[in-house]
Amino acid sequence: MAKELIKSNEAVVKGALLAGAKCYFGYPITPASEIAQAASYYFPPLGRTFIQAESEVAAIQMCYGAAGAGVRVMTASSGPGISLKQEGVSYSAGSELPVVIIVIMRGGPGLGNIAPEQADYFQVVKNGGHGNYRCMVLAPNCGQEMCDLTIHAFEMADKYRNPVYVLTDGFIGQMMEPVEFPEAMDIDERAKADWALLGDAETKGNIINSIYLDQDELEEHNRKLQRKYARMKAEDVLFEEYRLDDAEIATIGYGIVSRVLKSAVDVCREKGIKVGLLRPITLFPFPEKQVAEIANRVDNILVCELSNGQMVEDVRLVGCRGKAKISFYGRMGGNVPTVDELAEQITKVAEGGDIDG
């Protein structure tokens, strides 16, 4: 295990290459550009492909092609670019192609700014594209997870033949932390993708397609996809719990917010407030059971996001039948709350006050 102090955006690229990624197709955008830059530096010397595409639209379609050819492939962008990629994501989901997409969120809507936000939850987790599809979404909150969850994303993409997002914010993308890298994997495309077009007699009968003119056939295809998403919910939910055992207040956050919350939980615990943290690591599949269970157990849930309140909708959806009162505190525009700020919100909740988030 090699340990390196590395920018998270670069850890993504090294992790991807160790996971056997063969192709990177991308387009520059702050705060995700280091991913494309590192890919352009490391992919070619390994005999792998880096292409700076003409557009985000093209980059994801190149991924569609390479995934159809059976190789591990990735792209990365930020909100405005992800808006453009939605076409290709829908097609990849429809044609059941494993594509890994890294999203480093910035401020929006429109051009917004390049500071960290979490306002792309809806378009990434709930699908910005057309059709009845879902993508698995992994939400790292540190450099190590930027590597590990990128590798996991490739594994999950292959397991389900489905696009997988790694979703984080500009803050996590830009930070440096020590990362321990695993050994390089050897990926056998023939073994992993017997459904793909490998350019030979054995696989030429395969077809990569999302068109089903017959209504019943398309419905059956959609039902098959829904079964796949149900399997994700049953088998591959990831989350982290922190000091929740005896908690009366549960905070919920992901990405950079989960780290500020963790510190705020410690500060409040010292003041005697029984508070803990639930950090969803998979945003889809969302840790529904855990949230429902916590909502039955604690008095208060405080969801914090760098948004107008997007993930909180998922919390409310599964937590609404519990006894806990669900509050939301959000910052926007690229502002990241301080530890004291969140500790203050937790204290307010503990004292029975309302949050005007």
Partner 1 sequence: MAKDILKKPDALYEVYHRKPGEDKKNIHYCPGCGHGVLHKLIAEAISDFGVADRTIMISPVGCSVFVYYYFDTGNIQAAHGRAPAVATGLKRANPDTIVISYQGDGDLAAIGGNNILQAANRGENITVFFVNNAIYGMTGGQMAPTTLVGQKTMTTPYGRSVQNEGYPIKVVELLATLESPAYLERCALTDAKNIAKTRKAVRKAIKCQIDGKGFSLVEVLSACPSGWKLTPVQAKKWITDRMMSYFPLGVTKDVIDEREGYHPEKVKLTGDRIEEILGLKKEKLFRDKSMSEVPEQYRNPQIKVAGFGGQGVLLLGQTLAEAGMRHGWNVSWIPSYGPEMRGGTANCQVHISENDIGAPVVDFPNILIAMNKPSLDKFEPTVQPGGIIFYNTSLIDRKPERDDVETVGLPFTDIGDELGSLRFANMVVVGAIIEKTRLLDEDIVKEAMKEVIHNKKFIPDNIVAIERGMAEAKKLE
Which residues 154-173 are close enough to bind partner 1 by CB under 8 A?
A: 170-171
Short-list 152, 181, 153, CA closest to 63: 153
Strands 100-105 and 164-169: parallel
Residues 42-61 that bind partner 1 (CB under 8 A): 42, 45-49, 51, 53-55, 57-59, 61
- CA angle, corner 310, sides to 163 and 269, nearest 5? 110
Q: Which of residues 270-329 bind partner 1 (CB under 8 A)?
A: none
Task: Give yes or no for residue 91 binding partner 1 (CB under 8 A).
Answer: yes
Q: Which is nearer to partner 1, 292 or 336 (CB)?
A: 336
Binding partner 1 (rule: CB under 8 A), the pick from 80, 336, 344, 355 is: 336
Distance of closest approach, residue 214 Cβ to partner 1, in angstroms? 7
Judged by CB under 8 A, the chain residues 197 through 256 that form the site for partner 1 are 197-201, 203-204, 206-211, 213-214, 256
4 closest CA partner among 184, 182, 181: 181
Examine residue 259 and tell whether it contacts partner 1 (CB under 8 A): yes
Does residue 175 touch partner 1 according to CB under 8 A?
yes
**Dist. CA 210–CA 119, nearest whole Å:** 29
| Euclidean distance between CA atoms 163 and 284, whole angstroms | 12
Q: How far is the CB of 22 from partner 1 (least distance, A)?
A: 6
Provide the residue type at 245 as one letter. Answer: D
Smaller CB distance to partner 1: residue 212 or 239?
Answer: 212
Contact call for residue 83 and partner 1 (CB under 8 A) = no
Q: Does 114 bind partner 1 (CB under 8 A)?
A: yes
Of 148, 198, 144, the closest CA to residue 172 belongs to: 144
Q: Which is nearer to partner 1, 43 or 229 (CB)?
A: 43
Number of residues that bind partner 1 (CB under 8 A): 83
84 binds partner 1 (CB under 8 A): no
Are the CB atoms for 118 and 333 separated by under 8 Å? no
Smallest gap from Cβ 103 to partner 1, in A, equals 17
Nearest residue (CB) to partner 1, 42 versus 165 = 42
The residue length of the chain stands at 357
SS3 304: strand
CA distance 241 to 250: 10
CB of 186 to partner 1, least distance (A): 7
Site string for partner 1, 115-134 (x = CB under 8 A): x-------------------
Shortest CB 342 distance to partner 1, Å:
9
- Kindly state the helix (H) or strand (E) to which residue 288 belongs, with its residue range: helix 288-297
Strand, helix or coil for residue 231: helix
Query: Starting from the edge strand earliest in sequence, which strands make up the sheet with 249-252, in order?
Result: 239-242, 275-280, 249-252, 300-305, 325-330
Among 17, 268, 291, 303, binds partner 1 (CB under 8 A): 17
User: Given candidates 222, 263, 335, 347, which one binds partner 1 under the rule CB under 8 A?
Assistant: 263
Stretch that binds partner 1, among 132-140, 184-192, 268-276, 302-310 (CB under 8 A): 184-192
| Token pair in block for residue 271 | 């003041």
Complex with partner 1: residue 256 or 324, whichever CB lies closer: 256
User: Quick one: 23 or 302, whose CB is closer to partner 1?
Assistant: 23
Phi, psi of 315 (to 5 degrees): -65, -45
Please report whether residue 111 would count as binding partner 1 according to CB under 8 A.
no
| Structure tokens, 198 | 């490998």
> Toward partner 1, which CB reaches closer, 198 or 283?
198
**Nearer Cβ to partner 1, position 100 or 264?**
264
Quote the least distance from Cβ 209 to partner 1, whole Å: 4
Residues 302/325, Cβ–Cβ less than 8 Å? no
In which residue are the tokens 């908690």 written? 247
Nearest CA among 222, 139, 145, 155 for reference residue 19:
155
